[in-house]
Every structure is written in structure tokens, then in C-alpha cells.
Amino acid sequence: MESLSGKTAVVTGAASGMGLAFAQRFARAGMKVVLADVEAPKLDEAVATVTATGAEAIGVVTDVTDGAAIDRLRDAAIDAFGRVHVLCNNAGVAGSGPSGGNFVNEAEWRWVLEVNLWGVIHGHRAFLPHLVEHGDGHIVNTASMAGHFPGHSAYSASKWAVVAITEGLFHDPRLKAAGVGVSCLCPGWVNTAIMDSHRNRPEWAAPSHGVEATPMEEMMAAFVRDQIRSGMEPAAVADLVHDAILANRLWVFTDMQMVQALEPRFNAVLAAENPPERSFDS
Ligand SMILES: NC(=O)c1ccc[n+]([C@@H]2O[C@H](COP(=O)([O-])OP(=O)(O)OC[C@H]3O[C@@H](n4cnc5c(N)ncnc54)[C@H](O)[C@@H]3O)[C@@H](O)[C@H]2O)c1
């Protein structure tokens, strides 16, 4: 997109963390913003921070696991502002719940894939025809560096899938013909509330009773909490996203050291060799 001013952005997971920072950054760029989140009271506060700057914004309570709710979000955005130009499929959960030493905690996998992957799929289905029809649009999917490093977890699976479908979308001839851009945000550690994702865990995804974290899982969760606390500020990520939309850039990385750390794996893949011992987990 060549300019953002006067246009409309829809951001999911906008009540806190990176989504809120995107909404605020877009408002500063002169955009109208539709903030969507499953956490209603926090969403109201988030919308107030945007409208307090003089920008036009509305909040739409939306659970991204519900395709019909995403349709209603699109319709509410179009009703309010006429057209949607930028969509950020950003809502996500960490799902660092306990496995009880089992290989798969099914409730955990279902919940994380529903939010992190199906949230994005619903966003594509509901919004892409509209973006392609008017042709002045850009879609930003929030993946993660966890979408590039292997990991036997629901989070890794969800983020690898988001990386794959976003890069696939980048090549889609219909988007290219219409001039609709695509970005894949792959943050490293960012200082947000992601490790408290269980605050939004629905009843249907309640963890199995009596399942406890293994000592390794407890250690890993403490490590990740520490990294996130000292991570990048969401506003800095929002600047990168804003610039990537204007530059029509696919990859938005926040930590180039993490990107460099991919090299041994790629080399092993190219040589069809077993992967090297891991020095990084995300
Ligand atoms: N923080 C990090 O270090 C980091 C790193 C890589 C990727 N990410 C990704 O960034 C995105 C944003 O997360 P964040 O770090 O800002 O965390 P956050 O918890 O501050 O924000 C996530 C938002 O998503 C919302 N949400 C959760 N489930 C939802 C649902 N079903 N429907 C609608 N909204 C829902 C939450 O209410 C919250 O406002 C996520 O996709 C996350 O996986 C975060």
C-alpha cells in the first residue's frame, strides 16, 4: 500500500500486547481502527486509548475461533467505515499448559490450533474477497520465530502453519493481480501478557483434570517468562509492521540473531542430514 492515512485497519487480539500497539500505531498514521478481542472489558479500555488521540475507532468483541463472529467483525467494520484495507490476524495464545508427561495434551492442542491457526484461516475466508475486490489492501498474520524452529508443541504447529499459509498467500496470483500485500510477522521475545493466555481459555478447552507440569515444562515456562519480560516493547514491533505494509515486505522479523540461528538447520536440510543439536527453543 502506498499510504495508510484515511484508510481502515482491523486488528484481532487488540485488547493488549502487540495488537493494541498496532491499533495505536495505525491510529497515529491517520487510520480508522477496528479493535477485536475476546476480552470485553480490556477491549473497551483499549478502544478508549485510541479514541483519546482523536482517531476514529470501534471495538467488536470477537472470538477468532468462531467463523461467524469473524464474519460479523468484517460486516461491523464495513458498516462503520465503508472498507477494510489492513487486516492483522494477530490474536494468539501461548498454550504452555502441562502435559503430565504425555506426548500430547489433546485439549491444549485443540485450543491453541483453534485460536492461532483457525483464527487466521477464518480471517482469510472472511476478509480476502473484500480486500481483493477493492484492491487496496494488506494482510498481516502474526506467526512467531516458533514458526521457523522445530518443536513438538501445539504452539509450534500453529505458528509453522501460519508461516506456510502466509508465504503461500504471498504467491497467490489473485492477490498479486489485485495488488493486495501480505506480511508475516515473526516476533522473537516481546514484552506482553502472552504467558497469561490461560485467562482466555474457554470451558471446552479446559485442561484434563489432575494433569501436572513436568519439571522440564516448569523450567521452560520460567525461562520463557523471563525472556518475555525482558523482550522488545510492542510499540517497536508496531513500527516494523507499519513500515512493512508500506514497503510490501513479506517477512517482519524483530530479532535478526534468532533468524541467523536458523542457518544450521537450513544447512542440514539442504545436505539431507540429521538436524544439529538444538541451541535454541522458542
Ligand atoms: N509475546 C511474544 O514474545 C510473542 C512472540 C511471538 C509471537 N507472538 C504472537 O503475538 C500475538 C499477540 O500476542 P501478544 O504477545 O501480544 O500477547 P497478549 O496476550 O498480550 O495478546 C494476545 C491477545 O489475543 C487475545 N485473544 C486470545 N484468545 C482470543 C480469541 N479466541 N479471540 C480473540 N482474541 C483472543 C487476548 O485477549 C489478547 O488481548 C500472538 O499471536 C502470539 O502468539 C508473541
Q: Which residue has the higher pLDDT, 221 or 159?
A: 159
pLDDT band at 30 (very low <50, low <70, confident <90, very high): very high
In this prediction, residue 282 carries a pLDDT of 41
Query: Residue 35 in contact with residue 43, Cβ under 8 Å?
Result: yes
Structurally, how many domains does the chain consist of? 1
pLDDT for residue 210: 65
Would residue 263 count as lying in a domain? no
Candidate from 11, 18, 90, 116 with most ligand 1 atoms within 8 A of CB, to mutate: 18
Ligand 1 centre to CA of 140 (Å) is: 14
Among residues 29, 165, 156, 154, which one has the least CA distance to residue 86? 29
Q: What is the pLDDT of residues 70-83, one digit of tens each?
A: 999 999 999 999 99
Whether the pLDDT of residue 145 is over 80: the answer is yes
Question: Cell 470477537, residue?
Answer: 62
Query: Residue 204 catalytic?
Result: no
E strand or H helix that includes residue 67: helix 67-81
pLDDT band at 281 (very low <50, low <70, confident <90, very high): very low
Q: Is 131 among the domain residues? A: yes
Mean model confidence pLDDT for the chain: 94
* Average pLDDT of span 189-207: 88
**Percent of the chain scoring above 70 in pLDDT:** 96
Does residue 258 surpass a pLDDT of 90?
Answer: yes
Has residue 261 been placed in a domain?
no
Ligand 1 atom closest to Cα of 199?
Answer: 37
Query: Which amino acid is present at 230?
Result: S
pLDDT digits (tens, 9 = 90+) for 2-25: 999 999 999 999 999 999 999 999
Query: Is the confidence at residue 97, as pLDDT, over 70?
Result: no
Residue 280 lies in a domain: no
Q: Which atom of ligand 1 is nearest to the CA of 114?
A: 31
Distance CA 20, CA 15 (A): 6
Domain membership of residue 275 (yes or no) is: no
| In the predicted structure, residue 100 carries a pLDDT above the cut 90 | no
Whole-number pLDDT of residue 209: 60
220 assigned to some structural domain: yes
46 in a domain, yes or no? yes
Looking at residue 216, which CATH number applies to its domain? Answer: 3.40.50.720
Q: Report the DSSP beta bridge partners of residue 253.
A: 186
Choose which residue among 49, 153, 192 to substitute to test ligand 1 binding: the one with the highest number of ligand atoms within 8 A of its C-beta.
Answer: 192
Atom of ligand 1 nearest to the CA of 15: 39
Gap from CA of 144 to ligand 1 centroid (Å): 11
Share of residues in the chain with pLDDT > 90 (%): 83
Higher model confidence: residue 113 or residue 279? 113
Is 3 domain-assigned? no
Tell if the pTM clears 0.85, that is, is over it. yes
Residue 259 has pLDDT above 50, yes or no: yes
Measured from CB, residues less than 6 Å from any atom of ligand 1 are 12-13, 15-19, 37-39, 62-65, 90-93, 115-116, 142, 144, 187, 189-190, 192-194, 197, 200, 228, 231
Q: Three cell numbers at 210?
A: 489432575
Give the model's confidence band at 271: pLDDT under 50 very low, under 70 low, under 90 confident, else very high.
Answer: very high
Confidence check: pLDDT of 249 > 90: yes
CA-to-CA distance for 175 and 178, rounded, in angstroms? 5
pLDDT of residue 279: 59
Q: Is the pLDDT of residue 58 over 80?
A: yes
User: What ligand 1 atom has the least distance to the C-alpha of 187?
Assistant: 6
State which residues form the domain around 229: 8-203+211-256
What pLDDT was estimated at residue 90? Answer: 98
